[in-house]
Amino acid sequence: PAPHKIPPRRRAAAYAQPPEQSGPLATATVEGYHSFVPLDVPDASRRSRTPSFLCKATSSVDGEAYSLRRLDGPPVPPEPLAAALAWRSLRHPSLVALVDAFTATGPAADGRVGRATYFVHELFPAAISLERAYFGTPGSAGNPGTPPSMTPTEDGLWDIALPLLSAIHAVHSAGAALRIVDPAHVLFTDPHTVRLSSIGVLDAARPERNLPLPALQSEDLQALGRLLVSVACQNAGAAAPTSLRRSLSFVHASYSADLSRLLMLLLSPPEAAHASVHDAVALVSGRLMTRLAQGVGYADALRTELSKEQENGRLLRLVLKLGLATSRPSLPANESYGDHPDRYLLRLFQDLLYGSSDEEGRPLISFAQAVHALNKLDLGHDGRALLTGREDGAMVLVSYHELKQVLERSFGEIAAAAEQ
């Protein structure tokens, strides 16, 4: 799809209103966050053994919606919470950014109110986990579950591997480890965009004090390798120790040699190869260069679309000013505001924009002509426009420079009246 078009499902989710609900959740406010809406996604915390309640909440500070996760159980002690907050300084396009983390009193999923630790992350409406996309959701009593919505392909696997490898590279270079690289924590925020979610949660809920950082970083690479094997086989258990050899044989036979070499590097025992994320990046550098070129091309397309939207916004402000200047018959300090010759000229210009007809009286619809006239008005061009009154038949030849002065003068009167 064109880069400027937001998928309808994501747009609808972004503007979704809270459903009718009762109980503490309906009226709760937690540290300035309100309008809680439970998110209909699988609980990604179960793999890290951190039961939690995930919802969308709106900030009273900036009015934006965020993902708010409430950890079940007692509040996190200050020291591990401070370690989790360090993730706020790490920004990467393949990480769902941590906005804040705090301890406060609020309702749980069952409505009980108590003190708990909350994590605030960026919200990506209508995102789905890689787990749900490739493995579906299991059924239960009264719930048939959902089938997978995606089928693994070579390109799809690289769409997952390269962004996650880039995120791991950024985290390891910053002297940290993710510890959350699994299908439940990887989100598809767009059809070809993946991001790691819940960063910082595990550092607070289950701080690792026994393993050194290199061991944790090595486990990140192992986890990425297991994730890719599971997706390639479309089997959540394909990377289990009892199945891994057979799964790798399937990958070697079904996918490219590049992918097989990457998996062998990622899954190599730490004591045998001492592989680091830098080795993995070097191995796929050719594909990364291709993605870099694609990213630059996509950024150019976005800038082109942004320039169009900037022009649209400029013309919209001009149309709004024109409408405000001509729609008021009076002002508190000027009862005859609407009858002034300045407003008459502006109404004639509006007739030129919206009321043109051909020789037989049929409406003329020309967006190009209207945009051309608005651009001249915005620039204060020296060119002239012939304005004709539909009611009195008056004809006025006036320059766009004069019309702009009239518009600014008329709008200035309204702005001054609004500030009184």
Instruction: Please give the average pLDDT of every successive group of 10 residues along the chain, which has 420 residues.
Output: 46 56 71 85 48 88 92 89 93 95 87 89 92 82 74 94 96 94 93 92 84 91 96 94 95 96 90 81 94 93 92 90 88 84 89 80 83 90 85 83 92 86
Residue 208: CB partners within 8 Å, gap ≥ 6?
179, 216
Q: Which helix (H) or strand (E) covers residue 299, if one does?
A: helix 285-327
pLDDT at 248: 96
Q: Are 150 and 234 in contact (CB under 8 A)?
A: no
The DSSP call for residue 86 is: G
Distance in angstroms (rounded) separating the CA atoms of residues 64 and 362: 46
Distance in angstroms (rounded) separating the CA atoms of residues 128 and 119: 19
pLDDT at 102: 94
- Beta pairing partners, 95: 196
pTM: 0.76
pLDDT at 10: 53
Q: Which helix (H) or strand (E) covers residue 246, if one does?
A: helix 244-254
Please list the alpha-helical segments (H only) found in 86-198.
Answer: 130-135, 154-173
pLDDT at 19: 55
Closest by Cα among 97, 113, 81, 318 to 196:
97
Closest by Cα among 372, 393, 72 to 385:
372
Closest by Cα among 128, 130, 137 to 152:
130
Closest by Cα among 352, 397, 342 to 372:
352
